[in-house]
Structure 1
Amino acid sequence: MNTLHQINEKARSVLRDALGPVDYARYQQQFSLGSGDYTAERQKAEQPDIETISKRVEELKAAGLLVPPPNARLLAGPP
């Protein structure tokens, strides 16, 4: 049984042979590790309140950009 490292090395070799060096490099670039802390950045992002959302929905409706699908029924929410 091969180690995970050996399997990965064999897979990279097969890809290099099949794609050629330029396309192999382009393929590898899509797997960059990135940087930063997504969770912390997401938590810092301003979250709109319900009034802001409701106002935006009404603006979209008034502009004709938010229309219900045909045969849609409005369901009553909690009292």
Structure 2
Amino acid sequence: METKTLNEVRITGFKVLVQHLGPADAIRFIQSYSHGSGDYTRDRKLWLEKDFDTVVTGIIERRKQKHKD
């Protein structure tokens, strides 16, 4: 089995998307993904330091604030 470069995989993947979805929907599919933002490693460490009840309480409070806005 031949190992492909990452660029070869991307090209092949996009060709398959276009073939099966058509050009417009292939582009829409690609655009639906984002790299996100922030520092996951730092944030994860902060999340893991909190206990479960604190996390749940924070989620509930944020939802209440969101519904007020």
| Larger helix share, 1 or 2 | 2
Structure number, greater radius of gyration: 1
TM-score normalised per structure 2:
0.46
